């Protein structure tokens, strides 16, 4: 039997809108594992906020976090840890111009530690999952290590200006994406880092060619992964640009899109 590597994005893909995995899709994934296929999670979330789904699916595989900036194996320390952080000096430069671009706040994550430039209840509410260590203060002073990921909180009016600044001044060292509405948040990772970057390491480890990789996603942070995978599948609720580059489109995250597609393709 030819093994497939199955890569699952979380929010808007594996997870329903209530952040749970449907019983049907979960059952199909477990049957895929029993049949010998390899299942991995590839998410923009940090590990602390994806660990519960990793455990719910009884995974024993590496995981892609922070959109590829952190790849490790929770069950095997000998597998290796691939951390591709941003340069601290670059983030300090962005902080220096933050007032010019009406940046409300900047949040830096170093693995599972979180640093806020200013107190921000809105951002606090989205990073508390997994109970990280949180420190609040001038990032130019309290941040001592190259960050894994940075979030810039702004408003809709200034988001384009900030992204233009990032592209024109720092394009060679960082990659940025804007979160979907209603969040006016720009996420930054190191240049050249994306989910396909992490997934390729895992595929090489298991000696699975990309034409036997099945990847599911819904947002622009899934773009490279969907293009790279032999079976790059967009969810029915995915953004239009992702559907245009996908090999196929399945049902939505509310309609068991992953479960239905895998059951048919792998004859489970």
Annotated catalytic residues are: 9
Quick one: which of 148, 156, 99 has its CA closest to 127? Answer: 148
Burial class for 174, CB neighbours closer than 10 Å (0-12, 13-18, 19+) = buried
CA 187 – CA 173 distance, rounded (Å): 14
Q: How do strand 70-72 and strand 63-65 relate by DSSP bridges? A: antiparallel
């Amino acid at each position: 039997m030819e093994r497939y590597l199955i890569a699952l994005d979380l929010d808007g893909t594996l997870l329903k809108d209530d952040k749970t995995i449907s019983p049907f899709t979960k059952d199909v994934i477990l049957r895929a594992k029993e049949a010998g296929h390899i299942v991995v999670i590839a998410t923009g979330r940090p590990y602390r906020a994806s660990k519960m789904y990793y455990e719910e699916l009884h995974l024993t595989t590496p995981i892609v976090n922070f959109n590829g900036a952190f790849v490790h194996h929770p069950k095997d320390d000998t597998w290796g840890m691939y951390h591709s952080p941003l340069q601290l000096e670059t983030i300090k430069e962005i902080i220096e111009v933050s007032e010019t671009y009406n940046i409300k706040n900047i949040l830096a994550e170093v693995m599972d530690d979180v640093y806020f430039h200013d107190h921000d209840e809105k951002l606090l509410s989205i990073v508390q999952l997994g109970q990280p260590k949180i420190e609040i203060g001038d990032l130019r002073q309290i941040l001592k290590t190259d960050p894994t990921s940075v979030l810039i909180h702004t408003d809709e009016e200034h988001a384009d200006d900030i992204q233009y600044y990032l592209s024109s001044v720092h394009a060679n060292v960082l990659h940025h994406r804007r979160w979907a509405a209603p969040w006016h948040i720009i996420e930054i990772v190191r240049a050249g880092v994306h989910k396909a970057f992490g997934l390729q390491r895992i595929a090489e480890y298991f000696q699975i060619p990309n034409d036997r990789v099945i990847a599911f996603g819904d947002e622009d942070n899934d773009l490279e992964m969907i293009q790279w995978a032999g079976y790059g599948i967009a969810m029915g609720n995915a953004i239009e640009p992702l559907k245009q580059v996908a090999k196929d489109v399945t049902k939505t995250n509310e309609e068991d899109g992953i479960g239905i597609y895998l059951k048919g393709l792998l004859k489970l």
